[in-house]
Structure 1
Amino acid sequence: MKKVKYYYDAENLAYRKIKTKKATKFGYAALFLLAAALFGVLSFVVLLNTPFFETPKDRLQAREIENFKIRYAILNKKMDQIDEVLENVEDRDNNLYRVYFNTSAIPDEQRKAGFGGVNRYKELEGFDNSELVINTSKRVDIISKELVIQSKSLDEILKLAKEKNNLLAAIPAIQPVRNENLKAMASGFGYRTDPFTKVRKFHAGMDFSAKSGTPIYATGDGVVDRADNTASGYGNHIVIRHGFGYETLYGHLSKYNVRAGQRVKRGDVIGYVGSTGRSEAPHCHYEVHKNGEVVNPLNFYYGNISAAEYVAIARLANQENQSLD
């Protein structure tokens, strides 16, 4: 029941009912409606900005954001693959090409340096996925810079190579046994388990497992220094002097195809796989020497294998297994 209000009429000494004017009633009603409208609008805005109320546009945007994240994830995966190949090229460049030409290696700090000074990614800040976009953009920029540095380095190497054709022909640059003839890349350079004593010892070359009688190829131009079995452990073996400080050894042969003093070219058949000397199974033990020091032959297979094959053989060679000699 509506509450009735009174006022005291002092002139007539009586209480009289307070009557609300129509204009006042209309004003109250208008004020109420206005307040209700404002409350409704505010509530609608709040609902639009909560996860409990999704419009078709919100759902479409959410799908686009997820697709955007997937595309960036795929892009980063591809960049991982590019990084792996680029690292192999850089490793060859520093430890092979530049060593050949007595040129200083390019330090990692220079190859992988970022970009100092002005913030290059300021316009990408302030968004929900800014970190993802900025990190990906940085990776693209760094890889692009690495490619530019590597390209310039290879241009320099090419210039040196044109001046040193004889050196390039002499460098051991291929595998002594072709991939299609391999049973396995049995053992790599470094510490391995000796097959006879089972003691861990340094293995100064790489073992290429293949059938007896498989051709063995000279890995660079040179002169055969020896083709005999007088060195302990190697059995029938060949040593080629390539000049420029390079020398290669091929051990455990079944027979020779060259003689001491003979000049050979890269790719010539010099002998055949066997298991003579201190050997557990048919294979070619292959060593590379530079200035009297043994070096990892893995760094010299750039003449007849692809980047993907190089990565695969590197993984096998770096496994700590048992050598065959």
Structure 2
Amino acid sequence: MSKVKYIYDSEKLAFLKIKPKKGRKLGYFALFLLASALFGFLCFVILLNTTYFETPKDRILAREIENMRISYALLNKRVDQLNETMDNLEDRDNNVYRAYFNSSPVDEKKRKGESEGALSYKQLEGYDNSDLVINTTKRLDVISNQMVFQSKSLDEIIKLAKGKEKLMAAIPAIQPIKNEALKQMASGFGYRSDPFTKVRKFHKGMDFSARTGTPIYATGDGVVEKADASLSGYGNHIEIRHGFGYETLYAHLSKYKVRPGQRVKRGDVIGYVGSTGRSEAPHLHYEVYQNGKVVNPLNFYYGSISAKEYVLISQIANQENQSLD
């Protein structure tokens, strides 16, 4: 029950009852309703941002966002693993493969994809998660560039490997006469006594004493440059150009089994022992050239004889005796 209010009237010397104005109660009531509505709206907005009033659609969106966060974390972990794998591959490329083939290491800036004209990511800007998307995209682009570059590098290594195979096949690595066909190692590389003048002079090859008609073998892959008697004192001889700076010469042959321009493989029979030209007895005079300079053939017999045989031949070849040509 509302309180009754009075006012003192000094003229009438009495308390008079105050009558409320019409509509005031209605105004108070309206004000109350407005305040209640504002309070209710405020509470509604607050509750909308809580989990108490989530709709099924909100739950689905929340689940999708959480899945995206998990996927993003897994993607970045995978990118880290790819980076580690690429680093290991690049390390082997520079320090194992290229070191083996005596090739220069690759420029690290090129490896990391720091090429001219950086990629633009403007199309990824303006979204709520633009920083995350751009960062991940950049990392993936760097790895992509590295993979392309590494693929080209491995192609180059394959070429180097094939070149290495050709080099190994070209090196004159076997004896031109088989051990079982040898009578003896007549003379080695170095200063020897000339069989005709008895004067000490430099002997540019090795002499293999063998019966006339004994097969002579190409000591490395190559192309026959000469098969004639054009060099004075060498009689019938063969010159083979092996490539990579290697050449071999086989002299005093009785006959040929190859012709100029013919490609031969290591171990192919190219001719037969004889005593043509300036020769004292049937034998093969054999010379090896590397980059235009004559070298000791003894340094190349690693493909056909054992260590024990090599020591024996070395002892004989290094004796300063008389040559056969």
The SS at the match of 2:255 is: strand
Q: Which runs of 5+ in 1 are unaligned?
A: 1-100, 104-159
Aligned residue pair count: 169
Q: CA RMSD in A?
A: 1.6
The SS at the match of 2:302 is: coil
- Tell me the CA shift for residue 162 of structure 1: 7.4
The residue number in structure 2 matching 1:31 is none
Instruction: Work out the CA distance in 2 between the residues paired with 1:298 and 1:195.
Output: 22
Instruction: Work out the CA distance in 1 between the residues paired with 2:262 and 2:162.
Output: 27
The residue number in structure 2 matching 1:303 is 303
Name which one, 1 or 2, has greater alpha-carbon Rg: 2
Instruction: Work out the CA distance in 1 between the residues paired with 2:258 and 2:248.
Output: 14
- Tell me the CA shift for residue 251 of structure 1: 0.1
The residue number in structure 2 matching 1:79 is none
The residue number in structure 2 matching 1:277 is 277
Residue type of the alignment partner of 1:250: Y
Q: Deviations over 1:169-224 (max 9, x none)?
A: 00000000000000000000000000000000000000000000000000000000
- Tell me the CA shift for residue 239 of structure 1: 0.0
Identity %: 81
Normalising by structure 2, report the TM-score: 0.51
Q: Deviations over 1:38-82 (max 9, x none)?
A: xxxxxxxxxxxxxxxxxxxxxxxxxxxxxxxxxxxxxxxxxxxxx
Query: How does 1:125-204 map onto structure 2 within 5 Å?
Result: 164-204=164-204
Residue type of the alignment partner of 1:207: D
Pair 1:294-2:313 in alignment: no
- Tell me the CA shift for residue 293 of structure 1: 0.4
Q: Which runs of 5+ in 2 are unaligned?
A: 1-100, 104-159
The SS at the match of 1:224 is: strand
Instruction: Work out the CA distance in 2 between the residues paired with 1:255 and 1:309.
Output: 29
Query: How does 1:83-122 map onto structure 2 within 5 Å?
Result: none
Instruction: Work out the CA distance in 2 between the residues paired with 1:262 and 1:231.
Output: 20
Instruction: Work out the CA distance in 2 between the residues paired with 1:203 and 1:218.
Output: 21
Distance 1:261 1:316, change over 3 A: same
Normalising by structure 1, report the TM-score: 0.51
Instruction: Work out the CA distance in 2 between the residues paired with 1:291 and 1:163.
Output: 18
The SS at the match of 2:304 is: coil
Distance 1:228 1:102, change over 3 A: farther
Instruction: Work out the CA distance in 1 between the residues paired with 2:265 and 2:315.
Output: 29
The residue number in structure 2 matching 1:257 is 257
Q: Deviations over 1:275-325 (max 9, x none)?
A: 000000000000000011000000000001011110010000000100000
Residue type of the alignment partner of 1:240: I
The residue number in structure 2 matching 1:312 is 312
8 A Cα contact 1:161 1:168, kept in partner:
no
